[in-house]
A and B are shown apart, each in its own frame.
Chain A
Amino acid sequence: MVIMKTQETLTNQAVADSQPDRRRWLKAGLGALAVCALPARKSRARAGTARKGLIRATRSPYFDTLEDHAIRCTLCPRKCRLARGERGDCRVRENRNGTGVSLVYGNPAIVQIDPVERKPFYHVLPGSRSLSVATAGCNMTCKFCEVWDTALVAPEDVFAYDLPPDEIMNQIAGTDVRSVAYTFGEPVVFFEYMLSIARRVHDAGHKNLMHTNGYIEPKPLRDLLPYLDGINIDLKGFDPEMYRRISGGDLGTVKRTLRKVRAAGIHVEVTYLVIPTLTDAAEEIKAMSRWIASELGARTPLHLARFYPLYQLANLPPTPVSTLDDARDIARSQGLDYVYISKVPGHEGEDTYCPGCGKIIIQRTGFILESIDVRDGKCGHCGHTIPGVWT
């Protein structure tokens, strides 16, 4: 496990070695308060403009205290053990004098409003607009990361907005935005920020959507689920060894997350990036589709996304469309009702077909909605129930 040392040191000592327990905890609490307050004062920026390296260090409950001021992050299965001053693999969680802090609470690098289909969610309020939020940092190291120069960097290396959760609510107030999506980065690493926003969004009657790698521990996931309306989980492959090799993650954990989300009754969509040579084997796609059908249900939408040469895999060709077609046929042959082809605008596989009557009920070109024939979650032609979030 690579632990990154931070240059930053706090002026306030949160914990002193020789203190008795009660006093130590009292001081730790004060220290943590200082952690929250000091950097925020220092780096306050106007909400509307971005600032390079904006950090609002905020104490996080998702850390366990260990001996010698060390802490352990409990957010994701990496469970980074951080000595004082060290930073986790995700680059955005740090041990400040024995206190675990998130460095990206309230300072997103990406804030934009666009169609919900772009997140991508095909069965959630089609055609509606959604506010996307993302920060620096990620707990995986995908070789094909689309946002590598935002996600695979430290918060010091991006421009970020000063947008505490209440400010996010201000951004959507009075607009046609119907949901907030935690996407375009990895929301697990800005979990505390996401949770704070999600509570407010939920209370305001909007929807919370999360697009994630699913590499998260059960406890934080449990905390989030009550506020979540939809989740899209990236399956980076279905071969455990290849999964580890190309993303640095663990397939078993991601499958566990998918099961838990489904068990909680949350709307789930799955995205599978079909990478030539690496994840496009017919057997792998077949096994994955079979697993989705049996564990998550045949009504789970599956997005088979086209790979474009990117980041470390820049010398691979894009996925042949014929490979995507074959993958779609395989997935459907395993019983999946809603199999989409993504990132090929104009492909018939972008449209939603009713499993009852076989007719097109939602027509799309990329993330542009062309037509919709779903009423109250039912097919406009035959009345078949279509899974998703429709109101």
Chain B
Amino acid sequence: MTTRQTHRIPSMFTAVLALGAGSQLAQVVLLRELLTVFSGHELSFGIILAGWMFWVAVGSAIANEILARSLAGNRSRTLTMATGTAISVLISLPVTVLMLRGLRAAFDVSPGMHLALLDLAWSGVLLMAPTCVFLGMHFVFLASARGRRDVVNPVNSAISTYQVEAAGNAIGGLLFTMLLVHVMSAIHLAALAGLIMLAVLPGKNGTGALAAANAERQQAPRYRRLCLVLLAAVLSWPWLGRLDRQASRLQWRLAAPDQQLIDLRQSRYGPLALLQRDGQYNVYQSGHRVFSAGGANAALALEEQNAAILAHLSMTQHSDPQRVLLIGGGLRGVLREVLYHEVRTIDYVELDPVLLDMASAVAAPTTRAALSDPRVRVRTLDGRRFIKQTDTRYDVIVVDVPDPATAVLNRYYTWEFFEEAKTRLAPEGVLAVNLSGGDPRGRVTANRNSTVFHTLRRVFDDVIVFGETDLIFLAANGSNRISADPARLRERFRKREIASAAFPDAYFHLLMEPSRLNRLNWMLRHHGRNDAAHHSPPDAGPLQVPAPSAQRAMEPSLPPVNERIFINSDFRPIGYVHNLILWNRTTRARNPRRLDRLLDIHPLWALPLPGLILLLALVWNLLGSGRRRSRRSVRYAVCTAAFTTGLSTMLLQVSILFAFQGVYGYVYERIGLIVALFMTGLAMGAALMHRFAPAGGMRLLAAVQLAVALFIAGVALALPLTGTLDAPNLVFALFALITWVAGILSGADFPLAVRCLAPLLKHPSHAVGRVYGLELLGACLGAAAASVMIVPVFGIRVACLLAAGMNAVAALTFLPSLNRTEPL
């Protein structure tokens, strides 16, 4: 019946579809902008999604209130309001993007300082509020206008609106990923989102059903509006492009006032910026400084001294290094310095081709010469993937990537990666890992640095840490393979007749000055060996600290490492959490210790929630009797199902985003596609239920809950395996399939829940709002909890199992009602 009604009102259908596409574009634009504001930290996913859902729900509530109070039955005024909200989105979304780029101006922060996480969270969520509220209102106005056409069954109409919007979401996401992201700036996309919503809105004089009766008269103003909107878009397009560039420049003027912005580019891993000051070039990605280099005019190799230290310390550890693998760092001088040693081949792997292209254009001549050296093979692909694919056994592998500040970067500090690297090392091979930061005498720095130490130590027999401003972790198989003897290494260096201006051979004595070297290794080795170690600063050790070789000999007598907190893994990225806590400590956070409590959270703490749900189910079934009890019990079960579906879907979504980041690393580019796949599934799930189970039913809803639980439990087992596969297309297909099926199951749940609930309410039409609201609430909680703590701290598998458990509990709440014979 709804289908019959719908085909008679194509303009409303288009308007809802446009809302779906527009809101999807808006969400992706905000997600990407906020990901940059959050310096690429993936926990922004959950905060943004939770904020998004919260404000959309607020907008829906406001619109419902307006409808109830002043627009009752007046379709023309409802459409006028819809036009108003579309115009508001058109204005507010680009303004939000501009404000996000100028966010630093609102805080009293010095150049070089990061904003505190809490400041970012509240300001980000607050800034997205107007757009989300208007989108929520727009949906309700359109649903109301559309629903009034379906006089027989408004519930069906609302479900159909939900489906159409989901289809619009999918179209928006696909359009974004396949086309728009490559040709449009963020401001263009923000304007486009509002424009498409505005362009296809029906006229307030009653297009839609009336159109059938008076089509000719109604089509004219609609096309006139479409033409006007298109004209406005065409005229403003170049201006919007200029605005976007100006906004980016403003963003960098605020972040780095004395640096000159040379280049801005979009990469699949995040926006890149190249800045220059005093002959030094600084490369930033997602607002985070990746590296600094001397630049074409730099006469002094000393500019890139830290790169030289990493290169020569690593290379002299091997008696005759012939094959070298360098992951990252080539553009800041490591490659050039490695070439001073008589190597046969160097495989230089740089993850981001855009970064390579941008930075090599301004690199020092010596670095450019190194890039074209016949011994160097430059590969632009993921270092993890390269290590899986290559058959070469390397004498030295140097990993010079930024700190594990994001889930993408954390992949180079996990035991899985170290295991992979170990298999590619020649028998006497050495692995070098670079990490920023000096003396780890404090708790927070020691937690992060000891995690890298213990994770390496889990894989390698011998690990010694060197360095002053940066820490260099050297690891090898076999005991006493890493040398901390400066005379020996200096001799080796001299024999190779290396004349590096950046590395005087006396530097070995600086790096291996006993008082510092011994204590540094003592602290990292001894820290993290009890359940509460992460709450304590590292033990500074005795006044006379033994040398690393002696410490290594004593290690078997030490207590075991607390693996939950101090072993970093792809699918439980605790290194990323430590870095996040460290990052938060170094911002202007008023209570920086608050985040430390994340490490204390235990998965079992989640148990009270399902316990409470089951307890309440029991209470509702014991209290009262007869029809009233049955209705209340079913109502409760349906509401629980709606809430848990929202919650578990978001837990799964965030898990997928983290897993994708862990395996692939370019969520920034594919976020639209991932969401589109989910929304396609959502629309299909709702459509399937609508077609094949129009009557719905409690049993089916319970079965769907069970299916969701089993599916997510299956995902919990499957997701970690994706990291071991060496077939990118297959892995991506697997991610796509999981996302799509999750969408289908979630989509199937909504109409079923609405149909189960509608007969139990005084006003059946309120069922849609109730189910939608509960799903949003669950999703809101799920998104925030998943990205801030559950996924990073417990890992992806536990997050999925928690989600599965919630759905299983929801299914259980139906049990008493399924066996009951009383009429509802």
Q: Please tell me if the beta carbons of B506 and A370 are within 8 angstroms of each other in the complex.
A: yes
B113 to chain A: which residues have CB within 8 Å?
143, 312-313, 315
Q: Give a binary string over B565-608; 1 marks a CB under 8 Å from any A CB, 0 the rest.
A: 00000000000000000010011100000000000000000000
Q: Please tell me if the beta carbons of B539 and A312 are within 8 angstroms of each other in the complex.
A: no
Q: Please tell me if the beta carbons of B442 and A366 are within 8 angstroms of each other in the complex.
A: no
Instruction: Say whether, besides A114-B515, A149-B444, A149-B445, A277 and B542 are in contact (CB < 8 Å).
Output: no
CA distance A143 to B112 in the complex (A): 10
* CB proximity of B524 to chain A, nearest CB, Å: 14
Q: Please tell me if the beta carbons of B510 and A368 are within 8 angstroms of each other in the complex.
A: yes
B110 to chain A: which residues have CB within 8 Å?
143, 245-246, 278, 312-313
List B288-347 residues whose CB lies under 8 Å from chain A. 288-289, 292, 298, 300, 302-303, 305-306
CA distance A313 to B256 in the complex (A): 12
**Please, could you name 10 A-B residue pairs with CB atoms under 8 Å apart, sorted by A?**
A112-B516, A146-B439, A149-B537, A157-B442, A245-B110, A310-B438, A310-B469, A312-B586, A317-B282, A345-B504
Chain B, interface SS category: loop
B289 to chain A: which residues have CB within 8 Å?
309, 314-317
Asked whether any CB of chain A lies closer than 8 Å to the CB of B217, the reply is no
Residue of B nearest to A46 (CB): B542
Q: Which of B437, B445, B506 contacts A366 (CB 8 A)?
A: B506
Asked whether any CB of chain B lies closer than 8 Å to the CB of A50, the reply is yes
Residue of B nearest to A113 (CB): B515
Instruction: Say whether, besides A48-B544, A313-B113, A322-B278, A345 and B442 are in contact (CB < 8 Å).
Output: no
CA distance A259 to B510 in the complex (A): 34
* CB proximity of B595 to chain A, nearest CB, Å: 15
Q: Interface residue tally of chain B, by bracket?
A: 35 or more
Residue of A nearest to B305 (CB): A344
CA distance A310 to B288 in the complex (A): 14
CA distance A323 to B292 in the complex (A): 14
Q: Which of A112, A150, A318, A366 contacts B292 (CB 8 A)?
A: A318
B436 to chain A: which residues have CB within 8 Å?
309, 314
Asked whether any CB of chain B lies closer than 8 Å to the CB of A226, the reply is no
CA distance A171 to B544 in the complex (A): 10
Q: Please tell me if the beta carbons of B469 and A308 are within 8 angstroms of each other in the complex.
A: yes
With A118-B513, A149-B441, A317-B280 known, 6 other A-B pairs at CB within 8 A are A49-B543, A276-B278, A315-B288, A318-B292, A344-B305, A346-B302
Q: Please tell me if the beta carbons of B442 and A322 are within 8 angstroms of each other in the complex.
A: no
List B738-781 residues whose CB lies under 8 Å from chain A. none
Q: Please tell me if the beta carbons of A314 and B543 are within 8 angstroms of each other in the complex.
A: no
Q: Which of A114, A317, A322, A325 contacts B516 (CB 8 A)?
A: A114
CA distance A278 to B177 in the complex (A): 41
B112 to chain A: which residues have CB within 8 Å?
276-278, 309, 312-316
Which of B255, B441, B513 has the most A CB atoms < 10 Å from its CB? B441
CA distance A159 to B110 in the complex (A): 32
Asked whether any CB of chain A lies closer than 8 Å to the CB of B443, the reply is yes
CA distance A345 to B760 in the complex (A): 78
List B477-511 residues whose CB lies under 8 Å from chain A. 501-504, 506-507, 509-510
Q: Please tell me if the beta carbons of A346 and B504 are within 8 angstroms of each other in the complex.
A: yes
Q: Give a binary string over B434-465; 1 marks a CB under 8 Å from any A CB, 0 the rest.
A: 00111111111100000000000000000000
* CB proximity of B291 to chain A, nearest CB, Å: 9
What residues make up the interface of B, taking CB atoms closer than 8 Å to A? 110-114, 255-259, 277-280, 282, 287-289, 292, 298, 300, 302-303, 305-306, 436-445, 469, 501-504, 506-507, 509-510, 513, 515-516, 519, 536-544, 583, 586-588
A344 to chain B: which residues have CB within 8 Å?
302, 305
* CB proximity of B449 to chain A, nearest CB, Å: 11
Q: Please tell me if the beta carbons of A312 and B587 are within 8 angstroms of each other in the complex.
A: yes
CA distance A146 to B468 in the complex (A): 11
Residue of B nearest to A369 (CB): B506
Q: Please tell me if the beta carbons of A347 and B292 are within 8 angstroms of each other in the complex.
A: no
A320 to chain B: which residues have CB within 8 Å?
277-280, 298, 303
Q: Give a binary string over A345-373; 1 marks a CB under 8 Å from any B CB, 0 the rest.
A: 11100000000000000000111101000
B256 to chain A: which residues have CB within 8 Å?
277
A321 to chain B: which residues have CB within 8 Å?
298, 300, 302-303
CA distance A368 to B439 in the complex (A): 20
* CB proximity of A157 to chain B, nearest CB, Å: 6
What residues make up the interface of A, taking CB atoms closer than 8 Å to B? 47-50, 52, 109-115, 118, 143, 146-150, 153, 157-161, 171, 245-246, 276-278, 308-318, 320-323, 325-326, 343-347, 365-368, 370
Instruction: Say whether, besides A109-B540, A317-B277, A320-B303, A146 and B504 are in contact (CB < 8 Å).
Output: no
Residue of A nearest to B544 (CB): A48
CA distance A313 to B111 in the complex (A): 7
Q: Please tell me if the beta carbons of B305 and A345 are within 8 angstroms of each other in the complex.
A: yes
* CB proximity of B563 to chain A, nearest CB, Å: 23
Q: How many A-B residue pairs have CB under 8 A?
A: 167
* CB proximity of B616 to chain A, nearest CB, Å: 40
CA distance A236 to B616 in the complex (A): 62
Q: Which of A150, A161, A366 contacts B507 (CB 8 A)?
A: A366
B515 to chain A: which residues have CB within 8 Å?
112-114
Q: Please tell me if the beta carbons of B539 and A345 are within 8 angstroms of each other in the complex.
A: no
Q: Please tell me if the beta carbons of B278 and A109 are within 8 angstroms of each other in the complex.
A: no
A161 to chain B: which residues have CB within 8 Å?
540, 543
Q: Please tell me if the beta carbons of B442 and A346 are within 8 angstroms of each other in the complex.
A: no
B259 to chain A: which residues have CB within 8 Å?
277
A110 to chain B: which residues have CB within 8 Å?
441, 540
CA distance A385 to B583 in the complex (A): 49
Which of A148, A149, A276 has the most B CB atoms < 10 Å from its CB? A149
Residue of A nearest to B441 (CB): A150
CA distance A114 to B517 in the complex (A): 11
CA distance A345 to B501 in the complex (A): 10
* CB proximity of A350 to chain B, nearest CB, Å: 10
CA distance A328 to B257 in the complex (A): 24
Residue of A nearest to B545 (CB): A112
CA distance A276 to B515 in the complex (A): 31
Q: Which of A114, A158, A277, A308 contacts B111 (CB 8 A)?
A: A277
CA distance A160 to B543 in the complex (A): 11
CA distance A115 to B306 in the complex (A): 22
* CB proximity of B168 to chain A, nearest CB, Å: 39
Residue of A nearest to B112 (CB): A316
Q: Please tell me if the beta carbons of B538 and A322 are within 8 angstroms of each other in the complex.
A: no
Q: Which of B114, B501, B506 contacts A365 (CB 8 A)?
A: B506
B292 to chain A: which residues have CB within 8 Å?
317-318
CA distance A146 to B437 in the complex (A): 9
* CB proximity of B511 to chain A, nearest CB, Å: 9
B443 to chain A: which residues have CB within 8 Å?
149, 157
Residue of B nearest to A311 (CB): B586
A313 to chain B: which residues have CB within 8 Å?
110, 112-113
B279 to chain A: which residues have CB within 8 Å?
320, 322
* CB proximity of A120 to chain B, nearest CB, Å: 13
Q: Please tell me if the beta carbons of A323 and B516 are within 8 angstroms of each other in the complex.
A: no
Q: Please tell me if the beta carbons of A346 and B502 are within 8 angstroms of each other in the complex.
A: yes
Q: Please tell me if the beta carbons of B510 and A365 are within 8 angstroms of each other in the complex.
A: yes
Residue of A nearest to B437 (CB): A310
* CB proximity of A300 to chain B, nearest CB, Å: 25
